[in-house]
Amino acid sequence: MKLGKVLKVFRKLSDISAIEMHRKTGFSRSYISSIENDQRDSISMKVLEKYSEACAVKPSNILRIQEDSEEFNWDEKTLYIKVLKTLYYPND
């Protein structure tokens, strides 16, 4: 899965609305939408750090989930399960 999709799943499963993400990060709602809908070729480490801080997860955990999702060709259900596990058991 692309990074934007993974970020969106982390945000949703962290129970953070797009408006709340805007408040936490300072990013415009349209910028958040473009990230989460993979309309950007890349995002900066600063963006990743702000997302991870808002979701209370390490940036490395987000990147690991994204890399694993592509390597193992996860479906959406598997992605949600892995993100939930990361949110609730971050040290596993």
> What CATH number is attached to the domain comprising 34?
1.10.260.40
pLDDT tens readout for residues 14-58: 999 999 999 999 999 999 999 999 999 899 999 999 999 999 999
Phi, psi angles (nearest 5°) of residue 89: -135, 65
pLDDT above 90: percentage of residues in the chain: 95
Q: What is the pLDDT of residue 24?
A: 97
Copy the structure tokens of residue 88.
């609730």
* Residue 76 domain boundaries: 3-88
Q: For residue 69, give the DSSP letter.
A: H
**CA distance linking residue 57 with residue 51, whole number of Å:** 9
**Could you give the number of structural domains in the chain?**
1
Residue 92 above 80 pLDDT?
A: no
- Neighbouring C-beta atoms of residue 53, cutoff 10 Å: 13
The H-or-E segment that residue 60 falls in is helix 59-71
Residue 90 above 90 pLDDT?
A: no
